Structure 1
Amino acid sequence: MTAQPPTSIVEQHWKRNLAVCVLGAFTTIVAMTLLLPFLPLYVEHLGVSDPAAIVQWSGVAFGAPFLSAACTAPLWGRLGDRYGRKLMLIRASLGMAIAMSLIGLAENIYQLVGLRLLAGLLGGYASGATILVATQTPKERSGWALGMLASGIMAGNLTGPLIGGLLPPLIGIRNTFFLAGGVIFLAFLATAFLMKEAQRPRRAADSAKPATIRAWELIPDKKPVIIMYVVASLVMFSIMSIEPIITVYLTQLHTANVTLMAGVVMSATALASILSASRIGKLADRVGHWKVVIGCLSAAAILLIPQAWVSNEWQLVVLRFLMGIALGGLLPCIAAIIRHSVPDAVAGRMLGYSTSSQYVGQVLGPLTGGYLGGHFGMPVVFVVTSLLMAGCAMAMWLMPPATVAD
């Protein structure tokens, strides 16, 4: 009888919880990505005048929140297990609302980087919402619910750059941050007052602690798992090394409305990834996930080369869209290979490590792209990223796993 109240709460409120989580994840992802089209312009506005320094500081500022998020994600996960997921979502939404508003008040580049670090430190709404939906939804509807949440997250990645391209010319860069903070605050209010979380059952004080599982010792063939962590990091690296410098690149192409076109270029990649993910996933189920990852890496590497020498912005839009098709199939296939390569008992933990490896790419990508673009020119960023992806595809082709995940 003691288990009935939590079950009742789940059955009564899971749809409302899902709606709140989709809203919160969408708004926070939009807030994290909307500054991409105008980030170099904001860096210049804050007093950085040297073109190479603008590109480099743009990469540092964009990668900063992913660094702090990677460092604090395990802490928020443990606190969520102890005190509840709703409390962590309240913390993340309120913290993001404050951080985004303060970014609009930054007076120099160091304050901007520090506030971006703060945003990553306090954020994590989307990952927390995923765990809450997975645990607070009836099992027979959990797949649909998680799919809806994933759609909200992808929609945020698609919408953020477009909003960031449209709003600054209309209301100003600083007011754009204030507006984003206000929208996230609405998500905070919805999370605090509309969400109902079932209490987690507590372990009795005299019960024995569960035995510690040594995850790596249970994996018979560690090679495919390790390779997939490298690929996951490289996928995010390839995206993040390019996007923070796209605005500067478009300026060099003498684009008329730079911020709007930068938003279109970035959104084209996200839109293509959304459209291709499920279709490439079905293809991988038929021909094998390992082969599809090699194919997607190779296609992305090839498509990066002509991006280095486009003559107008629409050529870049088309090439980024085509590259997004290839990138869309990578992360689902990576997750499938890891899932098929490890025992059920440690699958969640190993997939969590995959997320951490993506954080590594999200940090190193902007830093590397900013440095190379600022010191050696924009084409070098595309060429180096292409060589890395081609090298990874070659390594996978030369080192197939003992049992390929199909």
Structure 2
Amino acid sequence: MSAQTLRASAGSSFGRAQVHAVAGCYFVASFAALGLPPYLTEILPELGDRHARWAGVLYVVPTVFGALGAPLWGRLADRYGRKRLLLRAQLGLAVSFLLAGWADSLTAFTLALILQGILGGTFAASNGYLGAALAGPALSRALTLMQGSARAALVVAPIVVGSLSGWLSPHRQYALLAVLPLTAALLLAALPEPAAPAPGRTAPATEDGPPPAVSLRTLYALEFAFVFSTVISFPYLISLVEDRLPGTSPTLSGVLFALPHLCYLVSALAVHSAFRERPRAGIALGFACIALGLAGHALTHSLYGLVAARLVLGAGLTLGLVCLSVLAADCAGGRPPGGMFGSLEFFSKAGAVVAGLAAAAGSARFGPLAPVLTGGAVAAVTVVVSLLPAPHARPLRSRRCPR
């Protein structure tokens, strides 16, 4: 059987089960990456930083180095194979988690987090893998499912880590949880190397095809603005809740933090069906909900008002993530997916890093209201910009992935 026949067979066999396997492996591998950073204030005193002064810096270290490495790993995936680079990302996480769990000094722990950022990148690698086998609505639905995996891990992982901390310190849990990305790599090894979608399943972008809904630069700008306006409210939400509702229990604060992510898990697929043909309207509505939700955080002084504000923010989070997935799938047509999704991950992580820095600076100077007001202002401006008539986009020329 020829190599071309094997690739065609792999592409035709790539369906819902394979998509769910990739999303499930990302969920499993994300536990340590998303569940342990909230416990840095408990980890660092064991490593000599008695007052955990470096917690804020170390929180963003993997994100910074992940952003720097994502475009390079994406281009290498297009050249050497998406499955191979996805396996590399999972194994890279396993190695970095082991080193973090075994670190006996702040320097060694910091180096392990740097390696986590450089060697990881499982989200971009997974999206590039899916982008090589799917396109159009099938790809945007798969990307929506991937975001669901990220939201689920963000909600579940800190709870599991907290539950285990009575038996094993969060620091040593890094080494224990290294088995998860290793298991994910073993499961992914059974999946096929994705081939281009079969004719008839998708509409490839060509000179005669319709232009994408937004340009690639616009997609990157929307991704940055979306991540900035949502993430900026995360670090100091608990402080804001305590300021607005003194005496709130940690459990209730955790539920309030999780509400927007739970909204996504409940409604993402329904939103995808409703807005997959009009993603620009959905993204504008999403930013409007984000602006209103963050404004509600600043204005309310009651539990019911705060719940309502979190739910409105959840609606914006869901609309934004889903419609960005649709726009990304649209832009991916005719492009090497590894490079495109790697660059998209760079702008996403850059937005998170800038949001974290802005939240820290604003909160230190103006208090816990500053992050939500800043995020709301950015979201409101983005609504206005996204509603402006888009310049006519040039049809994409058919591109070949480098061999």
TM-score range for the pair, normalised by the shorter chain length: 0.7 to 0.9
Which residue number corresponds to residue 210 of structure 1? none
Is contact 2:264-2:318 (8 Å) kept? yes
- Structure 1 residues 196, 94: CA separation in 2 closer, same or farther (over 3 Å shift)? same
Aligned amino acid, residue 379 of structure 1 = L
8 Å CA contact 1:28, 1:93 repeated in 2: yes
Q: Contact (CA 8 Å) 1:269, 1:324: kept in 2 or not?
A: yes
Matches within 5 A, 1:272-287: 272-284=263-275
Note closer, same or farther for the CA distance 1:383–1:26 as it changes in structure 2 (3 Å cut). same
> Residue 129 of structure 2 contacts residue 194 of structure 2 at CA under 8 Å; is this kept in 1?
no
TM-score of the superposed pair, with normalisation by structure 1: 0.74
Aligned pair partner of 2:295 in 291, 295, 305: 305
Q: Any conservation in 2 of the 1:297–1:390 contact (CA below 8 Å)?
A: yes
3-state SS of paired residue (2:389): coil
The 1:278/1:86 distance shift into structure 2, 3 A limit, reads closer
Alignment map for 1:189-338 (pairs within 5 Å): 189-192=186-189, 194-197=190-193, 226-249=217-240, 258=250, 260-261=251-252, 263-284=254-275, 288-308=278-298, 316=306, 318-336=308-326
Q: Distance in 2 between matches of 1:273 and 1:64?
A: 27
Match of 2:349 among 344, 359, 373: 359
Q: Does the 8 Å CA contact 2:143/2:325 hold for their aligned counterparts?
A: no
Identity of aligned residues (%): 22
Label 1:167 to 1:107 Cα distance change in 2 as closer, same or farther (>3 A). Answer: same
Q: Which has the higher helix share?
A: 1
SS at match of 2:266: helix
Query: Is contact 1:275-1:325 (8 Å) kept?
Result: no
Distance 1:133 1:339 in 2: 10
Gaps of 5+ in 2: 197-205, 394-403
The letter of the residue matching 1:31 is A
Distance 2:70 2:138 in 1: 27
Pick from 99, 110, 114 the counterpart of residue 117 of structure 1. Answer: 114
Which residue of the other structure, out of 100, 104, 110, is the alignment partner of 1:103? 100
Measured after TM superposition, the shift of residue 63 of structure 1 is 2.4
Aligned residues: 379
CA–CA distance in 2 between the matches of 1:138 and 1:230?
22
Corresponding letter in the other structure for 1:290: R
- 2:370 aligned residue: 380
Q: Distance in 2 between matches of 1:142 and 1:390?
A: 29
Structure 1 residues 147 and 323, CA, compared in 2 at 3 Å: closer, same or farther?
A: closer
- Asked if residue 177 in structure 1 is aligned to residue 174 in structure 2, the reply is yes
Q: 1:385 to 1:12 in 2, by over 3 A?
A: closer
Give the RMSD, CA atoms, in angstroms.
Answer: 4.3
CA separation of 1:72 and 1:136: change in aligned 2, threshold 3 A: same
Instruction: Give the distance between the partners of 1:387 and 1:139, measured in 2 at CA.
Output: 32
Distance in 1, Cα, partners of 2:56 & 2:284: 28
SS in structure 1 at match of 2:236: helix
Q: How does 1:25-64 map to 2 (within 5 A)?
A: 25-42=26-43, 54=53, 57-64=54-61
Query: Cα deviation per residue 1:244-284 (whole Å; 9 max; x = unaligned)?
Result: 333555566666763x5554334322121233434444444
Question: Normalised by the size of structure 2, how large is the TM-score?
Answer: 0.75
Please, which of 112, 124, 128 is the counterpart of residue 127 of structure 1? 124
* CA–CA distance in structure 1, aligned partners of residues 81 and 284 of structure 2: 40
Q: CA offset at residue 285 of structure 1?
A: 5.6
Relative distance call for 1:41 and 1:343 in structure 2 (3 A) is closer
Equivalent-residue separation in structure 2 for 1:135 and 1:7 (angstroms): 12
